[in-house]
Amino acid sequence: MAERILVTGGAGFIGSNFVRYWVDRHPDDAVVAFDVLTYAGNRPNLAAVEDRIAFVQGDIGDLEGVTATLAEHEIDIIVNFAAESHVDRSILDPEAFLRTGVIGVHVLLDACRAEAAARAAGPRPAPRYLQVSTDEVYGSVETGRSVETDALAPRSPYAAAKAAGELLVRSYVVTHGVDAVVTRGSNTYGPYHHPEKLIPLFVTNALEDRPLPLYGDGLQQRDWLFVTDHAGAIETVLRRGQAGETYNIPGSAELTNREVVRQLLEALGKPSSNVPFIMPKRVADTDAFKQIEDYTGSGPYIFKRDEYKPGDKAVYLKADRNLAYGVVVETMDTLNRLGVESLGMVTELRSEGAP
């Protein structure tokens, strides 16, 4: 039987991919994409399916607008992707994340509750609600892997808002009997990703022969999940998940940021010299050689331009906003392209980040 599905945040990265996924696999279903179109939502993301869906520009924090949409389109399923998604932005403007991740989730759940009550005496079942959360609610996991029963320990306003949204979902299941489930996806990548995110940013920088700003030693490890796989897992939870439960969605592709960058450069046929080595500003002088060697492999390295000759490796250091950038360069062309006037001595690196 054909279903009517509301996808909030439907013009965003994962949301728009989910819309395309659903339309392709369930062509008889009615899909409504609902998005306020902030920086995170881009209507052209839906261009390929625009004539096969309905689009509503609206804010999930607007109870009247949400309620009207549920009633007008007789929605059976709500999948909430709506989120302010950039962690750094959440530090600068946490209130926007709370409006979407907490107040917006509350509005959606309340509208769901009211719609379920209105349908109680009729033949149509109450709508099912799925909250798309994130594995970032677990915080930093030093060893092993997170399971759904682990304590939540968010480390940013973004993750805290997501965790709060999850708790609201559970409260509406327990208190009001809302049919709702939660998913926690790992780090998702794929088409239509916002250009400020790691993979699209590094791909575009590499294509334009600009440095790739890999922070620290690049050994931060994340589990990478392709967006279509994420969409498929969400459908599985919609079909088979039990109300009130939470489900992890792993990608089973755990890679360090350094390895992700290496694979990107290899796929693009770009040299590793495009990757700056960025050391935290409090790096000790005695650690400088070791950190560079750990990052680049064994030397020897030349640190003065007038000593450089073709075939040598060199490390170019400069200070920028209290960070020391070191770029391994292997050709004079690379030095010229970077505008390097001189190669500072690594031993002169200061603990405050200036060479």
Q: Where are the beta strands (DSSP E) in 117-226?
A: 128-134, 180-185, 187-189, 214-215, 221-226
The answer to whether the beta carbons of residues 129 and 169 sit under 8 Å apart is: yes
The answer to whether the beta carbons of residues 45 and 52 sit under 8 Å apart is: no
- Both tokens of residue 70? 């549920």
d(CA 70, CA 117): 13
CATH 3.40.50.720, the chain: domain bounds: 4-192+223-254
So what's the pLDDT on residue 50? 95
d(CA 201, CA 214): 11
So what's the pLDDT on residue 286? 36
Q: 300: cis peptide before it, omega within 30°?
A: yes
Residue type, 109: L
| 326 beta partners | 277, 317
User: Which H/E stretch holds residue 21?
Assistant: helix 13-25
Active-site annotation, residues: 135-136, 158
Predicted TM-score (pTM) of the model is: 0.77
Assigned superfamily of 4-192+223-254: NAD(P)-binding Rossmann-like Domain (3.40.50.720)
d(CA 69, CA 85): 24
Give the distance from CA 23 to its chain's centroid. Answer: 23
So what's the pLDDT on residue 196? 78
Taking residue 90's Cβ as centre, other Cβ atoms within 10 Å add up to 23
Q: Which residues contact 294 (CB under 8 A, 6 or more apart)?
A: 217
351: closest CA among 295, 280, 265, 266? 280
Q: Which residues contact 251 (CB under 8 A, 6 or more apart)?
A: 186, 187, 188, 223, 224, 225, 226, 229, 230
Residue type, 237: V
Which bin fits 85, alpha (ψ -120 to 50), beta or left (φ > 0)? Answer: alpha
So what's the pLDDT on residue 345? 31
So what's the pLDDT on residue 55? 98
- Both tokens of residue 104? 């917006």
Instruction: Output the tens digit of pLDDT for each of the chain's 355 residues.
Output: 789 999 999 999 999 999 999 999 999 999 999 999 987 789 999 999 999 999 999 999 999 999 999 999 999 999 999 987 655 554 556 677 888 999 999 999 999 999 999 988 888 889 999 999 999 999 988 888 899 999 999 988 889 999 999 999 999 999 999 999 999 999 999 999 988 788 998 898 888 887 776 765 677 888 999 999 999 999 999 999 999 999 999 999 999 888 888 898 889 988 765 565 443 333 333 344 444 444 444 444 444 444 444 544 444 444 333 333 444 444 445 444 444 443 333 333 322 333 3
Diameter of the chain by CA atoms? 85
Strand order through the sheet with 30-35: 54-57, 30-35, 4-8, 77-80, 128-134, 180-185, 246-249
